């Protein structure tokens, strides 16, 4: 169990911020790293060619270490949607074949697949998870010989419904389907081993559970797709890209690995140092320790929420770090606003309170949440 890490964040006394699934606050050390990067950009004569490459390579190594894969399979993206669109553009779908997704999963993980289905004559098939059932079981029952692509999250962004990705991979293998993941609501908070899951593509937006600056992200690319087509035709991803003086003479050949999928202007001198500092801290804590700590705290919090009449998803069916609590009927319409007026910050998604604490929270925050809900419900 990890202790509260509130001292590492700029969180005023009395603020109960329980909204990681919306956006995490930044650690003070991350802010300092970003500020140092901004000052570097302010003095461009101090920039060297290495500044365009080294922080990027470090980011890939750190994320690869977190996911147990080589850095060569990692690309730099500005968002999950960028990575998921890249995945959709590099997978094949024939007329009549199906793309399986969860009902209510984040739109960035549905739009590319709906488009692909329209363009190819394929079928985009959304699976509804009935209340009280496990998402994994429902998904497995839907995967058959018509399935070409399974495009799902590890944790559903509205309720925290959990998908066992290793089981899903096994069933994808049985029918020859590709597996594409949006890990924005789980990466950095749940242990994720790509050697075991073997996704074809996996996208992450970093500004939630990865504790990173906004507009940063990663895309994992399976070996089979390392020679695919990127969204952008960049120059820095080509062989000879370090030689600025002869860029027009360089070959069009990409560097080896997933680098071809890197976004343009990937060398963000301000944000990349912040990403690396956040990843270093997550790895220092250990994702396994984060998962265990958040899971233990949330189990106790769920008991208190259930006692108030806010029905929570049972632990086996949700991500350990994530709580979805059904709002009782006839609850005041301005509940979220009223909570914020009492310095309690969370979200409402699809009729559920989405409560997503992190290591900056402590028992005082949980007491503040419960006491405020008791007064407002």
∠ CA 300-103-20, rounded to 5°: 40
- Within a domain: 164: yes
Backbone angles phi, psi at 49, to 5 degrees: -60, -35
Q: Which of 262, 284, 306 is the last residue of a domain?
A: 284
Tell me if residue 254 falls in helix, strand or coil: strand
Q: Which of 249, 264, 284 is the last residue of a domain?
A: 284
Can you tell me the distance from the alpha carbon of 326 to that of 159, in angstroms, rounded to the nearest whole number? 9
Domain harbouring 353, CATH code = 3.90.1150.10
Residues 350 and 246 in one domain: no
Nearest one of 106, 36, 19, 56 to 345, comparing CA atoms = 19
**What's the pLDDT at 328?**
83
**What's the pLDDT at 327?**
87
Residues 226 and 334 in one domain: no
Q: Which of 284, 300, 317 is the last residue of a domain?
A: 284
Residues 123 and 187 in one domain: yes
pLDDT by 10s per residue, the chain, length 377? 999 999 999 999 999 999 999 999 999 999 999 999 999 999 999 999 899 999 999 999 999 999 999 999 999 999 999 999 999 999 999 999 999 999 999 999 999 999 999 999 999 999 999 877 899 999 999 999 999 999 999 999 999 999 999 999 999 999 999 999 999 999 999 999 999 999 999 999 999 999 999 999 999 999 999 999 999 998 899 998 888 888 888 888 999 999 999 999 999 999 999 999 999 999 999 999 999 999 999 999 999 999 999 999 989 999 999 999 998 887 788 999 999 999 999 999 988 899 999 999 999 999 999 999 999 98
Nearest one of 125, 112, 126 to 82, comparing CA atoms = 112
Residues 276 and 301 in one domain: no
Q: Which domain holds residue 136?
A: 30-284
**What's the pLDDT at 182?**
98
**What's the pLDDT at 218?**
98
**What's the pLDDT at 332?**
80
Can you tell me the distance from the alpha carbon of 97 to that of 145, in angstroms, rounded to the nearest whole number? 9
Q: What is the pTM of this model?
A: 0.96
**For the purposes of burial, counting CB atoms within 10 Å of the CB of 335, is it exposed (0-12), middle (13-18) or buried (19 or more)?**
middle
Residues 274 and 292 in one domain: no
Residues 167 and 235 in one domain: yes
Count of domains in the chain?
2
Can you tell me the distance from the alpha carbon of 162 to that of 186, in angstroms, rounded to the nearest whole number? 10
Residues 81 and 106 in one domain: yes
């Amino acid at each position: 169990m990890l202790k509260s890490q509130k001292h590492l964040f700029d969180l005023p006394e009395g603020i109960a911020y329980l909204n990681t699934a919306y956006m995490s606050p930044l650690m003070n050390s991350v802010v300092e790293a970003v500020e140092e990067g901004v000052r570097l950009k302010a003095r461009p004569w101090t920039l060297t060619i290495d500044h365009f490459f080294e922080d990027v390579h470090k980011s890939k190594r750190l994320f690869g270490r977190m996911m147990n894969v080589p850095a060569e399979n990692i690309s730099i993206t500005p968002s999950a949607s960028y990575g998921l669109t890249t995945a959709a553009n590099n997978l094949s779908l024939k007329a009549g074949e199906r793309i399986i997704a969860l009902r209510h999963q984040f739109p960035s993980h549905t739009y590319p697949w709906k488009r692909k289905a329209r363009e190819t004559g394929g079928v985009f098939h959304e699976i509804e998870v009935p209340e009280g059932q496990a998402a994994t079981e429902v998904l497995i029952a839907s995967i058959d010989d018509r399935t070409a692509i399974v495009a799902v999250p590890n944790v559903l962004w509205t309720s925290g419904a959990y998908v066992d990705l290793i089981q899903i991979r096994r069933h994808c293998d049985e029918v020859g389907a590709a597996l594409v993941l949006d890990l924005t609501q789980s990466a950095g908070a749940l242990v994720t081993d790509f050697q075991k899951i073997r996704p074809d593509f996996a996208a992450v937006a970093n500004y939630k559970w990865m504790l990173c600056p906004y507009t940063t992200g990663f895309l994992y690319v399976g070996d089979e797709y390392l020679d695919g087509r990127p969204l952008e035709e960049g120059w820095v991803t080509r062989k000879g890209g370090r030689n600025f003086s002869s860029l027009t003479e360089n070959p069009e050949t990409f560097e080896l690995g997933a680098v071809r999928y890197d976004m343009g202007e990937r060398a963000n001198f301000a944000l990349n140092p912040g990403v690396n500092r956040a990843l270093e801290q997550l790895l220092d804590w250990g994702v396994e320790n984060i998962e265990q700590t958040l899971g233990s705290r949330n189990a106790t919090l769920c008991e208190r929420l259930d006692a108030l009449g806010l029905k929570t998803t049972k632990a086996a069916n949700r991500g350990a770090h994530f709580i979805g609590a059904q709002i009782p009927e006839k609850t005041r319409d301005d509940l979220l606003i009223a909570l914020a007026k009492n310095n309690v910050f969370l979200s409402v998604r699809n009729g559920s309170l989405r409560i997503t604490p992190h290591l900056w929270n402590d028992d005082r925050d949980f007491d503040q949440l419960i006491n405020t809900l008791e007064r407002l419900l």
